[in-house]
Amino acid sequence: MEPADQQLLDRAQTLLADPSPDPAALLEVCSLCHGRLQELNDSHPLQAIPLAVAALGLIDAFRQQPAVPPPWLHTREEQCCRLAALAIHGLLQADATEAQAWLPQGVQLLERLHRLHRHQLAWIPNMLVELQAAMDRPSPDRSLVVVGHAQAHPLLLELQHLQPALVARACPCIDVISAAEVQELHGTLADTDVLITHRLPVGFRDGIGLDTDTLQTHLPRHATTLLIADLHFDGLHPWIGYAHDPDGRLPELQALSPLGDYHDFLAMAAVEADLDAADLLARPLNPALRDTLVHQAETALMALAQQDQQCSVGMADQIAAQLRHTPLMHTINLPT
């Protein structure tokens, strides 16, 4: 930053620290910051951001004074918000790592700009969502471990897609992980920044050390734990059932259903009645069955909502809002 620009920022800070600043001085320094912002915006937009923030602070301080605002005040406030927010967004596109420090400021600028335009410009909330999403992503040099059921691995793949440089791992499915693998997991957690897991109760899997409280004891002090719901949504395929038969005691069930551990009881009933798929799909849905299906979907959403209350990230509202028009499930009943 040029010495003259630093001196200008120092003048602004001095005024902002004054409990009874001179309104004329506030407007004067605000105008100087705004003018310098416009000069730097094209050639050095990042150097212009502190000047924009200082100008906005001076505007806020002026509005607390018993003075009549000049007609240009609103326009310069809008320009400071817009140019600085666009500069931060441009940095995010060019260097996401360097942009991290500026993202909270960018969010504040966009929220203020959105209010100034009375929520009428569509690009502002879109850019706001983009900056907020970037703030929520783990930085590329952080390590992350996902512990969970069948949806843990798809979640890991999505995180790796969003952050290719992220050091991310998923342990084997918690229903089948061995005691020896849990011990390996404990060692991995000692060098982990973020743990994503279901809420697993004490004593889970005969107390092999997989419960959430035990896993957290193996994390370093700075680490963060994000609790996610154990997503199982019966409302999408209510006639799908899970029947694991490791001992081969249900050969007829395995012969009737080609889905392995998951079994489509509607398809099995159709086979029993000698109906092909076209006949089955052509049958009208009677009101009683429709009400039953709607009730089952609502019950499933209520179960998820109850889980959400103990989780870091809620899912029930998102599923309810998108269920009828967006493909949500990439497996039979687990939203992955």
Of 1-15, 89-103, 126-140, which gets the smallest average pLDDT?
A: 126-140
Q: Read off the pLDDT of residues 219-277 as tens digits, 9 standing for 90 and up.
A: 988 888 999 887 766 777 777 777 767 677 777 766 766 556 777 778 788 888 888 87
Of 22-26, 83-87, 178-182, 298-302, which gets the smallest average pLDDT?
A: 298-302
169 Cβ neighbours under 8 A, 6+ residues apart: 143, 144, 145, 146, 156, 188
pLDDT band per the 50, 70, 90 thresholds, residue 315: confident
Q: Check residue 229 and give its pLDDT.
A: 81
Task: Report the mean per-residue pLDDT for the chain.
Answer: 84
DSSP code at position 139: P
Q: Which two tokens stand for residue 50?
A: 């502190």
* CA-based nearest residue to 169, from 151, 196, 150: 196
Rounded distance between C-alpha atoms, residue 181 and residue 193, angstroms: 20
Q: Read off the pLDDT of residues 182-202 as tens digits, 9 standing for 90 and up.
A: 999 999 999 898 999 988 889
CATH 3.40.50.12080 fits 143-227, yes or no: yes
Put simply, whether the predicted model's pTM sits higher than 0.85 gets the answer: no
206 Cβ neighbours under 8 A, 6+ residues apart: none
